[in-house]
Amino acid sequence: MAIQDIYATALRLLGRPVLVVGGGPVAARRAKGLLDAGARVTVVAPLASDALRELAASGLLTWKPRTYLSSDVDGVWFVQTATGVAAVDAQVAADAEAQRIWCVNASDHESSAAWTPAVAVVDDVKIAINAGGDPRRAMALRDAVATALETGDLPLRRRRASTGSVALVGGGPGDSGLITVRGRRLLGQADVVVADRLGPRDLLQELAPDVRVIEVGKTPGHHPVPQLEINRILVEEALAGHRVVRLKGGDPYVLGRGGEEAEFCRQNGVEVEVVPGVTSAISVPAAAGIPVTHRGLAKGFSVVTGHEELSEVPARPDHTVILLMGVAKLRESAAALAASGMPLDTPVGIVENGYMPEQRVTIGTLATIAEQAEATGVANPAVIVIGDVVRVSPFAPEHFKTADYSTLTPNKPRVVTPSPSAH
């Protein structure tokens, strides 16, 4: 049987009697699949695997512990052979053929009246693949297609009207490879994308032409679309039956006002899902080789916006302070930390455009960093890291690197060549 001879279709077996002949692992898999489809399954086999025995004991199927009889095919809608004995499977297939009943012959795919495809389910989409009677090839293709659907590389977007919803998706620090699999998948299903300036912008170019993108990006001190208007847009689009993705940079619940948006959606009867993202507070320092905690240097960290919370964080080099949106008030922030007791020689790192081609790292101390930033024109988006963890960065000046802070050889001197891109 050639692949061209197959008419691809799907059987609806809910409540209909089917027959499985055989009691081994293949029979168990096929019986389980038929049960999942809602069929009334009868298994005929002298011996049955533990899996089939458990299904029979629980009342999910009927097991007849004997050899096959031609009368077993009477009145069934579908037959699956899986005895492992070619002659028995051939007899079952012949009896089914005589009664015009579709039968899958596991022993001889070439003469089988039907084939069982490799199947995967993603959301409400069922993928079924035949590959010329080669089950391993079919499974490999099935897995590849399912993965592409899961990751958003293939579209899962519905084309018919459905109930609207909102997904608050954290897109990470801007690199399109750092969005989560779930977030990428939901983006591929979206009818409307409400986009931030700092999200993974490259992914917007991959959307279908009829997906609407509503730009609501903000910059420090400039909010062309107020938050209340963003909330209204999300609800209005969802109530119109659209699947809405609110694509944010970083994580929607880390200084991203995602909690307000989720609450507003729920108050207005809109289903909302929150998809965490890779927050820039941790990932952008990592792009410059700066861990926010490190053995022997820091056991905790605080994330603030750099405006008014600095008086409440520990002013110690062994407690990392991460400032988001803090460039404009960097001089005031440094002075506030110094006034709280932070030593002036505490290392400070600024990472601009983390993970992007134009990434730049500036490293100094609490006493010098404001002047350095002004001299080099540091600008948002940038993450500022204050604390001894900055010493670990390969971009740090040589005199910062007084010891090897690894867990294997603590306090062993090391030699690291600073990157020429450091300032």
pLDDT at 345: 93
* Residues involved in catalysis: 196, 218
d(CA 146, CA 119): 9
User: For all residues of the chain together, what is the average pLDDT?
Assistant: 88
Task: Give the range among 61-65, 128-132, 386-390 with minimum mean pLDDT.
Answer: 128-132
Task: Specify the pTM.
Answer: 0.64
Given a cut of 60, whether residue 2 has pLDDT beyond it is: no
Please give the radius of gyration of the chain, using alpha carbons only, rounded to the nearest integer. 31
Collect contacts of 49-53 with beta carbons under 8 A, ≥24 apart.
49/23, 49/24, 49/25, 51/25, 52/23, 52/27, 52/28
Amino acid occupying residue 302:
S
Of 128-132, 331-335, 419-423, which one has max mean pLDDT?
Answer: 331-335
What CA–CA distance (Å, rounded) separates 134 from 117? 10
By C-alpha distance, which of 236, 235, 245 is closest to 267? 235
The mean pLDDT value for 355-360 works out to 91
Going along the chain from its start, the domains and CATH numbers come out as 3-116 (3.40.50.720), 165-278 (3.40.1010.10), 282-400 (3.30.950.10)
pLDDT at 402: 58
Asked if residue 411 has pLDDT above 50, the reply is no
- pLDDT at residue 160, as a whole number: 59
DSSP state letter for 212? E
* pLDDT tens, residue by residue, 380-406: 899 999 999 999 999 998 888 755 555
Lowest mean pLDDT among 31-35, 133-137, 282-286, 340-344: 133-137
Task: Write out pLDDT tens, residues 305-321.
Answer: 866 678 889 999 999 99
Q: Please indicate whether residue 88 or residue 420 has the higher confidence score (pLDDT).
A: 88
